[in-house]
Structure 1
């Protein structure tokens, strides 16, 4: 059996953090441990395993991540090798089983509650995956108690709430009522603090406590939570109080209350809440530019419609149509050539994300748009750099069939270009993510900003579903975002086809005298549409959505061939980026021939 020995330099780091009084997180200690591991010179096998056990303990993510192991802890990211196989970073594959014993011992020997909680939770959660053994319930108990003890020592409100929720989850899982009550009480205290300080984290606690019947929420606590939601709606929708006016927060609280009142049949309250949302977004739109106002008015129109307020609905719909027209009158094309040093991420992001939001959208759309010419050059270059592989045909296998065949570079150059797009999409992962992160930081953008940009050429008469998908993407609900937004991409392309005079329906293949709409693949392979969109946009959308030699996302999702773990942040970013491209389709493409 493999033995673990923690190198002295790394043990010193663990002990130093164990003695800390000030707050720290997994990123701080993880960064030091990783640097110390890199600095090791010719470590023995035991030292190398011990070093890996410590680095892995703090490198695993507990946030919104890909979930290949169906566990609380997951990788920070993933990628694809040249052979098409997925790899994860970090990956638990090959981690020796004694790592679990090591983590469990750490949880019992260290003093700092954060470290005790982390190690105990790892030992509990990863026992089956790494240790190949049953879980030890004492690990869960230690983790619960340590998480609760660590809360006062964490500086960030988000970490405090995360710890309380994890403690409650574990207590409910092992059926420990006393610990469940302790964790729930701590979570309620954090919720009350958030409400007093207007910290904006109320939805974490509300959703966790109201959605799980096993959490043991009392009638008094439930009444308090609903009263808090009502106060958020009242405050956030009050246009007479500019300092606290927040229609998005009011909408979030209202949606939760609407579900509750709907189940009770309290339809008067449902109508009241929808009306509050509609009026707050209508007021918000009054102070926005036409592009953003049109999207805000879509939300107001939807809310009034659900409230049964026909007059208000018709008024805001007319206003929305006027705003869309006004936005279209002032469209500008932005041109800027950017030379990007690939070894300098910060410089790259500074070049992409600038003070003007519209220009930033253009930069992101342009920078991450695939270049057909560049891909063709890469394929030609493979004849020189990898001549054997360039001449061997390839077969892309799905679960139970051949998805596509790719000939040699000489026989099937376009097939090779299309397959090359998979590597191009993977290469952009970190760059696109950092650009989007900086975009949110610099401009404090809302889903409405994205929707307004996407609709700057009037591709959507109704933006409700577009907004739903973008909101899901913003809150990292990648499953919902993909399933909602991909059909909206198809809707937008069909609108482009219709604007160009291309038929958007065809005869039904089986039902006489009936018609069906054309799909995304047919649209993108239409010569007139491809000519107008231009070679880069056409290739990009084909590769992302409809070609089996590319990602084929539209067809994979439509036929239920994508596993839940494959819906992750990069997939969402690629979809949203494609929507930004559609916001510029007239500027990117060529003029249609008359």
Structure 2
């Protein structure tokens, strides 16, 4: 990956004298925010003013501070806690901490000692400690700065981004998570780490007392992971919170809290209590199915999740006959699915809506941004490409009547493109053989002109991480139970611009998700082998034998794109190339690979869009606004 480096001054050394030659904290003096987006906005405006005044040193310092405040914060990633805020389709990206190794990192550590704003101090010190692992003082300054930031917010003396406590206090858990990761490193002082743990316990307790799930859930899980509080106490709180949510009709909230209680009992090796909590999780899915009885598609998804959840519980701890009862309900609901087979297709013109979202993407609620991103591009199907190929054949007559071949990087022939018929007829096979070049240009336009810019805005203005995508994956019936984490991490990496990791996680999941959706509508997606064993059918069979139901679910255009991008040898065949290790490093950042990841995101979002108002309520409850 190459750094985009839009600002030349970012690649030049900014010395300690540059920082101390004026008050570099003046733009944030008296500003009570400890949120990095807020700080970056202040420094962006300060830079513009300095440039207009001809103050080159101040402009250079402000530009650098803007850059480091705009890192993509990923506290759950111990190896790379900060990623680029933007990655373009041609491999350029914004800065990351390793771009400042050497003298600049050392200067950051020195300047951190002089910095008053605790969040800025923590960020400067953290970049120094990442690049200089033996810099013990910078590690401690990072932890203390993060602690102080969270304490000020909890005391009501500061705020995170936007100054809206109802949707940003939970960000304190992410600050503390980063502090705890550093605290486990060699050479860390236990005293500030002890304060970090105290603050985390305080956040969990306040979240529980106020019944704020966005705070309690995150803090409780981190508390359990680091073994800070009494595990039995957390189990009791989570169970009480789950009952509270269930009584309000919030089955999703109840399910998450029962899982926290189950995790706590697993730590204490209380198998019976753990199983009891998991049974409650299954019943949350059952109640969801009952609440969504009017939608057979949604109800069958919830029933399948309930059955899968019960199967994870040891037989001796399951309610006798419960799985059989749910299977009978599932079969009855599956019989109602045929009237609902067009649920996920969006044939209406959504251009006006998407344009309204994109016209003012900056400042929009996260839910609107996620919705808009899923529908940001119209997906083209086979008839679109037939028309394009016909137009090209009329313009370039000679080229259309000559056979040609497609070669891989090693020169092997991987596909043949036969000449078009002299009658002018363009068959479906002709389209499949010839549309990949047209698709390449369309994917480039989509990724560069819409998808990546939209993701850039989302990353810049919202806290996007594994937890968000885990929530979406759990809500979406496109994701089979037990595969939510693969989708969550994969989508998080895609949003962060790490296409290699995103493709390797998301692409292999697609085939299984298509099978899962077909199973939900009662279809048998297995085959009997010659040895009389049963195995799942592969993607090629799904796209041929089961094409009609898939097209009814997702639309013919989407399934055509799936075929050409992931499976067809005449297309891009990226599923097989990733599976067999033939994808080169650069290929992962191709526009088609990026478009393919977005297409998987769109398919995950498709079953949520029809009930988006309900999804928005869940997102808002978790603090994603």
Same fold judged by TM-score > 0.5?
yes
The total of aligned residue pairs comes to 529
The answer to whether structure 1 residue 150 and structure 2 residue 149 are counterparts is: yes
What's the counterpart of residue 137 of structure 2?
A: 138
Relative to structure 1, is the Cα distance of residues 195 and 148 closer, same or farther in structure 2, using a 3 angstrom cutoff?
same
What's the counterpart of residue 163 of structure 1?
A: 175
Deviations along 1:350-369, one digit per CA (max 9) or x if unpaired, are: 9xx9x9x9xx9999569442
1:100 paired residue among 67, 86, 105: 105
Hey, what's the Cα distance between the residues in 2 that align with 1:383 and 1:184?
71
Hey, what's the Cα distance between the residues in 1 that align with 2:271 and 2:177?
32
2:358 paired residue among 346, 355, 367: 346
Hey, what's the Cα distance between the residues in 2 that align with 1:163 and 1:94?
22
What's the counterpart of residue 588 of structure 1?
A: none
2:199 paired residue among 186, 211, 219: 186
The answer to whether structure 1 residue 520 and structure 2 residue 539 are counterparts is: yes
Residue 51 of structure 1 and its aligned partner are, at CA, apart by 5.0
What are structure 2's unaligned runs of at least 5 residues? 1-10, 154-158, 160-167, 396-403, 421-432, 465-470, 495-500, 610-625
Hey, what's the Cα distance between the residues in 2 that align with 1:106 and 1:144?
16
**What value does the CA root-mean-square deviation take over the aligned residues?**
5.5
Relative to structure 1, is the Cα distance of residues 577 and 483 closer, same or farther in structure 2, using a 3 angstrom cutoff?
same
Relative to structure 1, is the Cα distance of residues 24 and 242 closer, same or farther in structure 2, using a 3 angstrom cutoff?
same
What's the counterpart of residue 316 of structure 1?
A: 326
Hey, what's the Cα distance between the residues in 2 that align with 1:63 and 1:88?
16
Relative to structure 1, is the Cα distance of residues 322 and 576 closer, same or farther in structure 2, using a 3 angstrom cutoff?
farther
What's the counterpart of residue 540 of structure 1?
A: 561
Hey, what's the Cα distance between the residues in 2 that align with 1:434 and 1:179?
34
What are structure 1's unaligned runs of at least 5 residues? 128-133, 385-391, 456-462, 585-594
CA contact (8 A) 2:183 2:189 kept: yes
TM-score of the two chains, using structure 2 as the length reference: 0.66
What's the counterpart of residue 274 of structure 1?
A: 278
CA contact (8 A) 1:5 1:50 kept: no
What's the counterpart of residue 120 of structure 1?
A: 125
The answer to whether structure 1 residue 71 and structure 2 residue 80 are counterparts is: yes
The answer to whether structure 1 residue 211 and structure 2 residue 225 are counterparts is: yes
Higher mean alpha-carbon deviation, 406-415 vs 302-311, is at: 406-415
CA contact (8 A) 1:296 1:448 kept: no
CA contact (8 A) 1:302 1:464 kept: yes
The answer to whether structure 1 residue 575 and structure 2 residue 600 are counterparts is: yes
Relative to structure 1, is the Cα distance of residues 280 and 558 closer, same or farther in structure 2, using a 3 angstrom cutoff?
same
Deviations along 1:387-422, one digit per CA (max 9) or x if unpaired, are: xxxxx999664xxx6798799999973342354465
CA contact (8 A) 2:307 2:326 kept: yes
Relative to structure 1, is the Cα distance of residues 274 and 87 closer, same or farther in structure 2, using a 3 angstrom cutoff?
same
Hey, what's the Cα distance between the residues in 2 that align with 1:187 and 1:527?
50
CA contact (8 A) 2:375 2:602 kept: yes
Relative to structure 1, is the Cα distance of residues 541 and 250 closer, same or farther in structure 2, using a 3 angstrom cutoff?
same
Deviations along 1:319-378, one digit per CA (max 9) or x if unpaired, are: 23333434543566764234459986535989xx9x9x9xx9999569442445666788
Deviations along 1:189-234, one digit per CA (max 9) or x if unpaired, are: 2222222122222333333333346xxx3xxx2x2x4322333224
Matches within 5 A, 1:189-268: 189-200=202-213, 201-212=215-226, 217=228, 221=229, 223=230, 225-237=231-243, 242-243=247-248, 245-259=249-263, 261-262=265-266, 265-268=269-272
What's the counterpart of residue 288 of structure 1?
A: 292
TM-score of the two chains, using structure 1 as the length reference: 0.69
What's the counterpart of residue 423 of structure 1?
A: 444
Hey, what's the Cα distance between the residues in 2 that align with 1:61 and 1:482?
21
2:184 paired residue among 172, 180, 188: 172
Residue 41 of structure 1 and its aligned partner are, at CA, apart by 6.3
Hey, what's the Cα distance between the residues in 1 that align with 2:373 and 2:342?
14
Q: Which SS does the other structure have where 2:331 is aligned?
A: helix
CA contact (8 A) 1:524 1:530 kept: no
Residue 11 of structure 1 and its aligned partner are, at CA, apart by 8.9
Residue 60 of structure 1 and its aligned partner are, at CA, apart by 1.0
Hey, what's the Cα distance between the residues in 1 that align with 2:130 and 2:244?
45
Residue 258 of structure 1 and its aligned partner are, at CA, apart by 3.4
Residue 91 of structure 1 and its aligned partner are, at CA, apart by 5.6
Residue 161 of structure 1 and its aligned partner are, at CA, apart by 2.0
Hey, what's the Cα distance between the residues in 1 that align with 2:474 and 2:551?
27
Matches within 5 A, 1:12-91: 14-20=24-30, 22-37=32-47, 40=51, 50-63=61-74, 70-81=79-90, 86-90=91-95
Relative to structure 1, is the Cα distance of residues 383 and 146 closer, same or farther in structure 2, using a 3 angstrom cutoff?
farther
Hey, what's the Cα distance between the residues in 2 that align with 1:493 and 1:180?
46
Higher mean alpha-carbon deviation, 513-522 vs 294-303, is at: 513-522
Matches within 5 A, 1:343-492: 345-347=357-359, 364=374, 367-372=377-382, 397=409, 413-420=434-441, 422-423=443-444, 426-427=447-448, 428-430=450-452, 450-451=476-477, 464-465=481-482, 482=506, 485-491=509-515
Hey, what's the Cα distance between the residues in 2 that align with 1:136 and 1:284?
52
